[in-house]
Amino acid sequence: MSGILTLILWLMCTFLLLIVLLNMIIALISDIFEKIHQNIYSNILKELATLMLESEILLQRRNKFKNVKYLIIMEIQRNLHNDRDNESRIASVQNKISKQLEEQTEFLTQIQINLTEKMTHQAKLRQEKIQNMSLAAITPLSQGIESLEAEVLAYKKAFKRIMNPNTPYSQLKTIYY
């Protein structure tokens, strides 16, 4: 019994020690990261300076160009055949690009033509719809105006009859009612 208890206690202590050590490692790493992150710009400059110093030591350019004020870099043309191949490749790529450009411009002009046709067609349909709607709205109004004009004419005739002194009284009753 005491052997099992000792084993369980040993496993718990080991696990606890493992957690404590991992926590300590994480804390150390985060502290180092924070220090580096605070000095990141100076660290970058320091690394660039060491790289420049190493390249100066390896290439020893100071001794080679001690009395030279300007440095001009020239490349030697190595193989004319490769340049001709490159020129032909460049020409073929330029031809392909120009063909694709022509195809795309044709495609875009066709799209533009189709869009203008559709827009004009839709504009005509909307214009017809508006005209039909306005005719539908005007027709009842014009009929109402015609009926009002007929009533106005009837009232004018009635007024003329009333104003006429020769109109008998029996006809005046029918005018009012």
- Chain segment 51-84, per-residue pLDDT in tens: 888 887 777 766 777 777 776 676 665 655 566 6
* Strand ranges, E, within 34-94: none
pLDDT at position 177 is 44
Most confidently modeled range among 4-13, 51-60, 87-96, 120-129: 4-13
SS3 state of residue 78: coil
> For the chain, how many residues are written?
177
Q: Evaluate whether 36 touches 43 at the Cβ level (below 8 Å).
A: yes
pLDDT at position 83 is 61
Tokens of 177: 């009612």
pLDDT top residue among 64 and 122: 122
**CA of residue 85 relative to chain centroid, distance:** 41
Q: Evaluate whether 71 touches 65 at the Cβ level (below 8 Å).
A: yes
What is the rounded average pLDDT of the residues 150-157?
Answer: 82
What is the rounded average pLDDT of the residues 131-144?
Answer: 78
pLDDT at position 56 is 77
Q: Evaluate whether 103 touches 111 at the Cβ level (below 8 Å).
A: no
pLDDT at position 160 is 75
pLDDT at position 168 is 63
pLDDT at position 78 is 61
What is the rounded average pLDDT of the residues 157-177?
Answer: 64
Q: Evaluate whether 98 touches 92 at the Cβ level (below 8 Å).
A: no
Rounded to two decimals, the pTM is: 0.32
12 backbone dihedrals φ, ψ, rounded to 5°: -65, -40
Q: Evaluate whether 161 touches 167 at the Cβ level (below 8 Å).
A: yes
